[in-house]
Amino acid sequence: MSETKTSTFTGYEKFIIALLATLQFTVVLDFMVLSPLGYILLDKLSISTSQFGLVVSAYAFSAGASGLITAGFADKFDRKKLLLFFYTGFVIGTFLCGIAPSYNFLLMARIFTGIFGGVISSISFAIITDLFAINVRGRVMGFVQMAFASSQVLGIPIGLYLAKAFSWHAPFLMIVGLSIVVGLLIVTYMKPINAHLKIQAKGNAFQHLGKTLTRPDYLQAFAATTLLATGGFMLMPFGTAFGVNNLGIKETELPTLYMITGICMLVFSPFIGKLSDKIGKYKVFLAGSAITCVMTLIYCNLSVTPLWIIIGLNVLLFIGITGRMISASALMTAVPEPQDRGAFMGINSSIQQIAGGIAALIAGFIVSESSTGFIENYPTLGNVVVVAVIITALLMYRIHKYVTAKLAMTASAAAPDPVV
């Protein structure tokens, strides 16, 4: 649990990074697979864009509510046991999605899945913060966040293939099978993570939650997180429908688009993580924000476009989004005190989920589908995302200054201050 480790990872640490990355892959894929399945669900379930937006946001809202309720308990238990409990619930919820016979059943299944799945990322980030020093967390986050790229390279293309070959239920059942393997690895090989229990805050879980939720130093981080989730949650739910109906992408070309983008992110994610540790997490965040703004404005205003241009623009857009995600996640881990890490990560994840749910719901009302399937008002959606990205960059600057001052005060005289 030392905060003064070198950048060299032990064999066990490499295993933990790989395990958490695979675990994140299953959780991320469970959420992201809804986007490419969007055009299928709109047809098969005969639902509107606002109803589909509700399916996406239902997961986020239930995840947010669950995270807030459980945040106070996050520092009261061994993190391994907590992870296993919620991951088991996530697997059950995903299985229910895989057998859903109707829209209402699917909606309820997404709520159940969100109650458990939405807490997993916060527990994973607390584990990373416990086990790895701040000066290597960018690299760790870079590898763990490869889950997003991996889901595009492997998960989404395979999911689309299974959906077309069998039914839209098949991708969820695939995730269940992989998740069971991951769960067994956690049970068998992960060591207990309980050093935080020796320094846990006084008072019961609800008092701990209240103090963490109202601490002034943490409030600015929660505010930044509120807007940080807006971009992805607004663009993602209708990205595939926009690509097929507005940009002229053929359904058979979707796996190619996702796979090439994902492969590029597999290459860039570790590089972005290392870069954030080397030159500074906030600098990387700013660069990612600038790229995201430019590419969002271009992408959302496209009409029918050749596939190779769409792929290039999509790769650049995801480089920007990934740069923001990795650097912000690494920077946020330095905000809480050791005894507050579980609660802080739980609250932060909950706020992200709730804000994302609101964003997805709003997006469902901003855009609409014409009788021909054309997605209208997507440029307006892009403008809203850009404004959110700019405001978030200003809020993250305050986080950067706070973390820099905090690390300067706590660093030992013999060790140089970590780059943030």
Residue pLDDT tens, the chain, 420 long: 433 444 467 888 889 988 998 898 888 888 777 766 766 777 777 777 677 777 877 887 788 778 777 766 766 778 888 899 999 999 999 999 888 888 889 889 999 998 898 788 878 888 888 888 777 877 887 788 777 667 666 666 777 777 777 887 888 898 999 999 999 999 998 888 876 666 655 555 566 677 777 788 888 888 888 888 776 677 777 777 888 888 988 877 887 887 888 788 888 888 888 888 888 889 999 999 999 999 999 999 998 889 999 999 999 998 898 888 888 888 888 888 777 777 787 788 778 777 877 787 788 788 877 777 788 888 999 898 999 899 999 989 999 998 888 878 766 544 555 555
Distance (Å) of CA 257 to CA 156, 250, 316 = 10, 10, 13
For every residue of 127-177, DSSP letters joined together read HHHHHS-HHHHHHHHHHHTHHHHHIIIIIHHHHHHHHHHT-TTHHHHHHHH
Report the candidate in 384, 34, 418 with the shortest Cα–Cα distance to residue 240. 34
* The two three-digit tokens of residue 153, written as one number: 């390279």
Length in residues, the chain: 420
- Containing 375, the helix (H) or strand (E) segment is strand 375-376
Quote the pLDDT of residue 344.
Answer: 81
Beta strand pairing status for 375-376 and 368-369?
Answer: antiparallel
- Pairwise CA distance, residues 126 & 78, whole Å: 11
Quote the pLDDT of residue 330.
Answer: 83
- Pairwise CA distance, residues 415 & 418, whole Å: 9
Quote the pLDDT of residue 288.
Answer: 93
SS3 77: coil
- In angstroms, the first-to-last Cα distance of the chain is 20
Residue with tokens 């820099």: 404
Environment class of residue 144 by beta-carbon count within 10 Å: exposed (0-12), middle (13-18) or buried (19+)?
Answer: buried
Residue with tokens 């590898």: 143
Is the Cβ–Cβ distance between 117 and 85 less than 8 Å?
no
Quote the pLDDT of residue 74.
Answer: 64
- Pairwise CA distance, residues 118 & 355, whole Å: 13
C-alpha dihedral, 400 to 405 to 195 to 141, nearest 10°? 20
* The two three-digit tokens of residue 377, written as one number: 């008002």
* The two three-digit tokens of residue 117, written as one number: 């799945």
* The two three-digit tokens of residue 273, written as one number: 């993580």
> Looking at the DSSP assignment, which residues form a beta bridge with residue 368?
376
* The two three-digit tokens of residue 175, written as one number: 């995730």
Dihedral sign for Cα atoms in the order 364, 370, 373, 376: negative
- Pairwise CA distance, residues 34 & 352, whole Å: 18
Distance (Å) of CA 153 to CA 31, 147, 410 = 15, 10, 41
**pTM summary value:** 0.71
Quote the pLDDT of residue 318.
Answer: 86
Please calculate the CA angle 143-326-332 and round it to the nearest 5 degrees.
120
- Pairwise CA distance, residues 274 & 136, whole Å: 8
Residue type, 54: L
Report the candidate in 37, 32, 67, 27 with the shortest Cα–Cα distance to residue 179. 27
